[in-house]
A and B are shown apart, each in its own frame.
Chain A
């Protein structure tokens, strides 16, 4: 039972999602190797090699892998699977894009969003926006699955695996990368932040995120999130969306501001340790999952919260 885990990275740094998915990978009980595929990503491989419990790190570098195009990634991964019976990746947009293609080429199904490894062939995963948890057993010869990283703690460092260079497949050249528009932020990354403050339609504009949410996020070292309505209305970019079809977060503290609490939003945050809801409608469904609810107008509550946090010594 050898496990291959696909590393999440941007050629520069290993994303925290990898160490979390590694925890799931180690529960299969076999050796875990990590595949770092990209271009100019030797540093990432070295980082991965330091994680505990890694057998070896496979480093596949080629220009066509620079942006992890699914067609190119699959071409490189499929032959490697001759040596493995399990392929995992964190359920990031890269993992979700690449793994099903690999699974199909191996003629096996995929288990999406694994939240528990019951045994090497039996897994728990959420369905219906997390309103039900399904335990499934696969009969496939090779297990291919994506891991919901919020369900697993990160594996620590302490290993010293070897890095082995593997030859990537030749370019299949079905698609080309034509550019990206990546949100640059000094704040912690949404899916791994300890505190998340999210705004919804109630924020009424993007400027209000800047004026009212950002100062608080800065004080708390928090990441900022948004509901679908806030993203659809153009208040915030798409990568801020928390929910069933956006990002799944489980911080120690999640503050929902002007968010009603639709099931699709709850699906992305209801495993947070402590939930705070600020909403002017006392009957908003978000209060049904909130540990602390504050009924009030966010336009007065947020400035007060900022002042109160300042008084309590948070931030400058």
Chain B
């Protein structure tokens, strides 16, 4: 069984984002970049499935510029066997990412694809669902548990009301939620080993996918800042303020 894991290089989740003063976007110059946290969870899950003996190969794939190599190396150090970089300098929207991933799936023929539910930069939460649609395969999104059962995959999903379980035929697309697992830190020996693992390179043109954007970014602005209010001395004052000043009680 083979698992494909798409991983995205994004701004590190601890970095305070700054909007550029000309309103053209956010400032990514010299900021720390990392693997998208939900993609780390996806890699971890794939590696655990392999470690349980339920998969033979884990392949990581990233779409992005040459720096996405670093993200792929992280996936390899966590335990992926090999990696594919779809190299492009363009910003690629979820639909185009899904189309590129579809092309990769068609040559790699994985049994399952595990993606993050959301990239923490664009906050789109779209790519996995789009890929499943394009492939005409089932989807198990926002997974907090994945069980392989013969030719089926059982996915427990985090939904607004609580949890829900679906059973998918294979091949299937799954996206990860926070509670699926806690990703490991790659050990130094594994980081060294990862340097020898292969990263194949391809490009959107080679895969025959049109990645022209459908959206034009008109502007990017800071949200209205919220001003810090006051500190109250005690509970009595708090209740009084909420009642008589704010009028929310």
| Residues of A in contact with B (beta carbons under 8 Å apart) | 10, 67, 69-71, 74, 92-94, 96-105, 107-113, 122, 126-140, 174-183, 191, 195, 220, 228, 231-232, 237-239, 241, 244-245, 247, 252-253, 263-264, 270, 273-276, 282, 287-295, 301, 304-305, 308-309, 312, 314
The answer to whether B121 touches A97, judged by C-beta atoms less than 8 angstroms apart, is no
Known pairs A274-B242, A292-B242; A100 contacts B123 (CB<8 A): no
Q: A111's contact among B127, B158, B215, by CB below 8 Å, is which?
A: B215
Known pairs A131-B223, A287-B231; A179 contacts B164 (CB<8 A): yes
Residue of A nearest to B98 (CB): A104
Cα distance, A310 to B226, chains bound together (Å): 31
User: Smallest Cβ distance from B143 to chain A, in angstroms?
Assistant: 11
Interface residues of B in 209-246 (CB under 8 A from A): 214-223, 226, 228-232, 234-236, 238-239, 241-243, 246
**Complex A-B: 9 CB contacts under 8 Å:** A101-B132, A127-B26, A127-B123, A131-B17, A135-B220, A139-B214, A288-B226, A293-B230, A294-B235
B183 at the interface (CB under 8 A from A): no
Cα distance, A85 to B243, chains bound together (Å): 47
* B residues contacting the other copy or chain, number (CB 8 A): 81
The answer to whether A174 touches B169, judged by C-beta atoms less than 8 angstroms apart, is yes
Known: A111-B215, A293-B228. 8 other contacts (CB 8 A): A93-B142, A101-B129, A103-B126, A133-B222, A195-B248, A238-B144, A288-B228, A309-B239
The answer to whether A178 touches B167, judged by C-beta atoms less than 8 angstroms apart, is yes
The answer to whether B226 touches A70, judged by C-beta atoms less than 8 angstroms apart, is no
B33 at the interface (CB under 8 A from A): no
The answer to whether A253 touches B249, judged by C-beta atoms less than 8 angstroms apart, is yes
B51-59, B133-141, B184-192, B196-204: which lies at the interface: B133-141
Cα distance, A301 to B236, chains bound together (Å): 10
| Residues of B in contact with A (beta carbons under 8 Å apart) | 11, 13, 16-17, 19, 26, 38, 93-95, 98, 117-118, 120-134, 136-142, 144, 154, 157-169, 172, 177-179, 214-223, 226, 228-232, 234-236, 238-239, 241-243, 246, 248-249
User: Smallest Cβ distance from B140 to chain A, in angstroms?
Assistant: 7
Please, which residues of chain B bring their CB within 8 A of the CB of A10? 161
Q: What 7 A-B pairs come out closest when comparing CB atoms?
A: A291-B229, A100-B129, A104-B130, A174-B138, A104-B133, A101-B133, A100-B126
Please, which residues of chain A bring their CB within 8 A of the CB of B165? 177-180
Cα distance, A93 to B231, chains bound together (Å): 37
User: Smallest Cβ distance from B239 to chain A, in angstroms?
Assistant: 5
The answer to whether A180 touches B162, judged by C-beta atoms less than 8 angstroms apart, is yes
Please, which residues of chain B bring their CB within 8 A of the CB of A97? 129, 139, 141-142
The answer to whether B243 touches A312, judged by C-beta atoms less than 8 angstroms apart, is yes
The answer to whether B222 touches A132, judged by C-beta atoms less than 8 angstroms apart, is yes
The answer to whether B160 touches A239, judged by C-beta atoms less than 8 angstroms apart, is yes
The answer to whether A101 touches B223, judged by C-beta atoms less than 8 angstroms apart, is no
Cα distance, A179 to B218, chains bound together (Å): 44
Please, which residues of chain B bring their CB within 8 A of the CB of A175? 138-140, 166-169, 172
Cα distance, A122 to B216, chains bound together (Å): 9
Q: A110's contact among B94, B231, B243, B249, by CB below 8 Å, is which?
A: B94
